[in-house]
Structure 1
Amino acid sequence: MTSLSDETFQVMMDWNPVFASLVGVPGWDDRLEDHSVDGHQGLRARLVDILGRVDESGEDPVARAVIRHQAESIITEIDARLVEHTVSPGLGAPVRNLLEMAPQVDFSQRRHLVPRFLEQAAERLRNTDRRPLRRHAESGAAHVERFLASPKQEWEGDADLRPAFARFREVLLELPGRVDEQAGLCWLPEGEANYAKLVRDYTTTSYTPAELHRLGLDLIAGLREEYAEIGSRVWGTSDVPEIFRRLRTDLLWANENDMLTSAVEAVARAEREAPKWFGRLPEARCEVRLVPENDRETAPLAYYMDAALDGSRPGVYWLNPLGATERSRTLSEVVAFHEAVPGHHLQLTVAAGTDLSNLRKFAFIEAYLEGWGLYTERLADEMGLYSSDEARLGMLGLDAMRAGRLVVDTGLHAFGWSRQQAVDYLRENTVMTEPEINSEIDRYIETPGQALAYMVGRLEIQRVRADAEARTGSRFDVKAFHDLVLENGAVPLSTLGELVTTWSERA
């Protein structure tokens, strides 16, 4: 008899079948996402049915919490109709995801579905009462144009898929689009209600947008004190604007090879130190690779891609060297620790190696997943992994970005900020370069609420650790704490708190 956890996992992979192939779960290699209205409503009905049965399912409390979250979050995304205005190559757009993932998996049984997939995406864009930003439609079209101008790729096989992509590009160019002054969800039908639900799903908390906005402002203010402290050691100045200026101009990469070497060394250093801090460790090392040249214009600056369950493909930390000589080398180590070890590679590979159900191994709970990644940036300092105060300034730089996300994401989607207001805020309060700021802002506009998960999750992991340390005193075992957090897979933050409280009381 199929458990409700397995039934929920089936729906999750029907929602995202290429991910199933990426991690090596069989049964979805001949499928692509169904982005039609009927397809989405069919999935929604299955999830509503699951939610109606979860309390009587016999699943344990943690599994029930994960089932509820996964079902509710997909329902929220369907109801928000994000597919109808998410088109840029930044993060989350259906066609962007297709082009990124196709080379990473076996596409031979699903390539014939690509024209239908593209037509479904186009149909949703043509028949809607909401529109993407004009600039995002243009950048999405440019992304497809670069693909059309590239040599035929292996995943396309003998199929002639390019005409279907060309038709989709024309649809993007014909869209009227929104102006930058109306960038957020609050300018769209049902936008305020949809954003409130997305905030709940991405943070797994009851925080309101106003509370998160204030939290971000307070964190930014506190980080300025840390900048002043470390800046006085590095440059003999505690003037924060001067420290920002130097970080943007003085510590840049000489070339992309130096960037790659630094990342490889940071990951190796973390792997050597990890056994002192973790009882559970991944068997496979994390590979560091440069993003392929054809994808650098649209790929994130860095990201992690899961290993396959059967070991046929390693976990990979992808590093984008685009504009290397204009980017601060202070960020190299902190990004490597976040994406690889002790961050996402360790986190996801440990969970995949447990006896948990597939639902628990692969649940998409951003506050837990990205909260862990951000937690490990500060943990790396505790582990002695940063090679210098310059690298610690990079840690502060990413802290400021994530605190700024709380301000900017809520500003855009709840308070009606223009795109330029968001750009100006990050320019004034972070050390990000102009290309990075613009890329980040476009990402927040297209994936409302996702950027909130990082800092909310980090703060909660830090809180439950501090609470466990207070309860157990000298008996606190940091390795056992980390193993507890990782071996349960992704869970809502309230569930994580309950697990840690039970563990610390027993200890």
Structure 2
Amino acid sequence: MTTVHRLADELLALLHREDPFAATAVGVHGHDHELPDLSEAGGLARRSAAEDIARRATALDGQDDVTRAVVVQQAAALVARVDARLVEHTLAFPLTSPAGTLLHHLPQARPDGVDGERAHLDRLAAVPAHLATAAERHRTGVAAGRLPLARAGRAAVANLDRYLAGPDPLRAPALTGTRVAERERLLADVVRPAFARYREVVATELVPRGRPDEQSGLCWLPDGGAVYESLVRVHTTTDRTPEELHRTGWDLLGELDAEYVEIGSRVFGAATATEVRQRLRTDPTLRWRSAADVLSTARETVERAERAAPGWFARVPAGRCAVEPVPDDEAPSVSAYYSRPALDGSRPGTFFANTHRAEERERFTAEAVAFHEAVPGHHVQLALAQEVEELPMLRRLADVNAHVEGWALYAERLADEMGLYSGDLARLGMLAEDSLRAARLVVDTGLHARGWTRRRAVEFLLDHTLLSEVDAGVEVDRYAEWPGQALSYAVGRLEIQRLRARAERALGTAFDLAAFHDLVLTSGPLPMTVLAEVVEDWLALISRSSSHPVRCAAPVQCPQSRNRP
């Protein structure tokens, strides 16, 4: 008999075939020798399988409605990714481009034992076919008018030139015995020549045909408007339109300006939000002294949050969050990030703080970033979800951007309620991070739905965020090649805040914040529409019980009885 949990497992296996790196990262073995299949035939086969799973799941009414809804949404997201054909014109961003994903993920592998090392070597041997398929997809895109950005092509060439000229980061995974020599042979004779051939395709075939900066968004491509609307639904898991999201971004920025004035007047004596942001952007005393300072502050901030967390969460992850620097080879092109723990406990959840050119980076955002990436943000969320053994594995690992990034942005504000920020300067850093996520709503929809030029998007970020000229350009280039993902942060945060306010109104003095957090986190990453139904069912259950059984599990004072700011 087919059950919804069996379909969830079937879909997860399909998702891991789509992205074998994701399987390796969490310790789901069986795909460690594979690279993503970028071929059109492979994508269409996965699309057909996903539609079939969704169709069968829809027919299984009444088994486990939450899991069924997650299966249907995750299958629809896979279909949308295939239909978007982003692989045809994505060249530079490390997390989405064909060459970039290889150089990002392969050095992070930690092969275990003879079989693991063999699988890793097989994966390296597959690089030429992978990049050749990518080149063919790019040519297909050009023929159909789905042109890449010329700027992205030039950036990809520069990245590949750095890789080919420098120490090879693909030597990073430790191997043993004769497999070390085999890896060296593969890198020299197979892998690096494949990257060189791909580089020539990008430089000679794609850059000359690339779109100009004035046409940075999807709306300039055939069917780009429809593709963008589909990706908006994937990343927000709502029915909100690009126009609605554009206006929401403007509204949020207006609200933040008032907060900048309130806090900035105390810190700098500034009278306007523009003055506060200008001071934060230009004051040299607000930069780091060294890379060591970046790491020590990150570790101290995470430890402070870990000590406070039990009072605000019914459960916290069993494993602590490690803090490490972003690897040198990728530090110039990425921001701080979190890597979830391996399911078998062999690798901890890790917050990677970026120490690259530390003296040029602002320090006032460090605490907000740590709260977002580590505790009470991604680490509490993702590591805890993986520990909920009663959930199907799909529910524990689902890639639902609105829930994942929405929670992490919510956590930045929650940290303020928890009294975790060291002072008003750090709270201005919280506003800086908030401004970026609000501005992303405007910029992403501006680029992809309204046809904004790259320069207009950069200038908007300079006017409304704390980004430098260089960082604003990096931000715009990131979302030109990752359309829709920028929307997930603010949309998810707003929905979690809305549901919390709904629960507070419904329960009054019986509301338990720790229990609410437990509900949101231990249900696994959920589409926003499904999370809303879960919260409503929870409220209905409590309202039917005169004893209000859902209470704080932590042996400390419940947060709702504190005087929070």
Which residue of structure 2 lines up, in the alignment, with residue 386 of structure 1? 421
Which residue of structure 1 lines up, in the alignment, with residue 362 of structure 2? 328
3-state secondary structure, aligned to 2:352: strand
- Amino acid corresponding to residue 312 of structure 1 in structure 2: S
2: distance between equivalents of 1:419 and 1:237? 31
- Equivalent of residue 7 in structure 2, options 4, 9, 19: 4
Could you list the per-position Cα deviations for residues 41-74 of structure 1 after superposition, in whole angstroms to 9, with x for gaps in the alignment? Answer: 1111111111221122364111111111111111
Which residue of structure 1 lines up, in the alignment, with residue 374 of structure 2? 340
Which residue of structure 2 lines up, in the alignment, with residue 165 of structure 1? 195
Which residue of structure 1 lines up, in the alignment, with residue 546 of structure 2? none
3-state secondary structure, aligned to 1:279: coil
2: distance between equivalents of 1:437 and 1:188? 24
Q: How does 1:190-339 map to 2 (within 5 A)?
A: 190-250=223-283, 251-298=286-333, 300-339=334-373
1: distance between equivalents of 2:348 and 2:320? 8
> Is 1:149 aligned to 2:162, yes or no?
no
Say if 2:39 and 2:137, in contact at 8 Å, map to a contact too.
yes
Which residue of structure 2 lines up, in the alignment, with residue 139 of structure 1? 155
Greater CA drift, 313-322 or 203-212:
313-322
3-state secondary structure, aligned to 1:294: coil
Which residue of structure 1 lines up, in the alignment, with residue 21 of structure 2? 18
2: distance between equivalents of 1:318 and 1:191? 34
TM-score, normalization: structure 1? Answer: 0.98
- Equivalent of residue 422 in structure 1, options 443, 457, 463: 457
2: distance between equivalents of 1:149 and 1:216? 42
The structural deviation recorded for 1:238 is 2.2
3-state secondary structure, aligned to 2:441: helix
Say if 2:253 and 2:439, in contact at 8 Å, map to a contact too.
yes
Greater CA drift, 289-298 or 69-78:
289-298
Say if 1:108 and 1:157, in contact at 8 Å, map to a contact too.
no
- Amino acid corresponding to residue 53 of structure 1 in structure 2: R
Say if 1:327 and 1:433, in contact at 8 Å, map to a contact too.
no
The structural deviation recorded for 1:374 is 0.3
- Amino acid corresponding to residue 446 of structure 2 in structure 1: G
3-state secondary structure, aligned to 2:323: strand
- Amino acid corresponding to residue 225 of structure 2 in structure 1: E
The number of aligned residues is: 506
1: distance between equivalents of 2:104 and 2:383? 21
**What's the Cα RMSD here?**
1.3
Is there any run of 5+ residues in structure 2 with no aligned partner, and where? Answer: 112-119, 174-182, 543-565
Instruction: State which structure, 1 or 2, has the greater radius of gyration over its C-alpha atoms.
Output: 2
1: distance between equivalents of 2:327 and 2:11? 35
* Structure number with higher relative contact order (C-alpha < 8 Å, ≥ 6 residues apart): 1
Q: How does 1:30-69 map to 2 (within 5 A)?
A: 30-57=33-60, 59-69=63-73
1: distance between equivalents of 2:105 and 2:95? 12
The structural deviation recorded for 1:157 is 4.8
Which residue of structure 1 lines up, in the alignment, with residue 93 of structure 2? 89
Question: Percent identity at matched positions?
Answer: 51
Say if 1:88 and 1:96, in contact at 8 Å, map to a contact too.
yes
Could you list the per-position Cα deviations for residues 422-457 of structure 1 after superposition, in whole angstroms to 9, with x for gaps in the alignment? Answer: 001011111111222111111110011110000000
Say if 1:397 and 1:430, in contact at 8 Å, map to a contact too.
yes
1: distance between equivalents of 2:408 and 2:329? 28
2: distance between equivalents of 1:184 and 1:493? 26
Is there any run of 5+ residues in structure 1 with no aligned partner, and where? Answer: none
The structural deviation recorded for 1:323 is 2.9
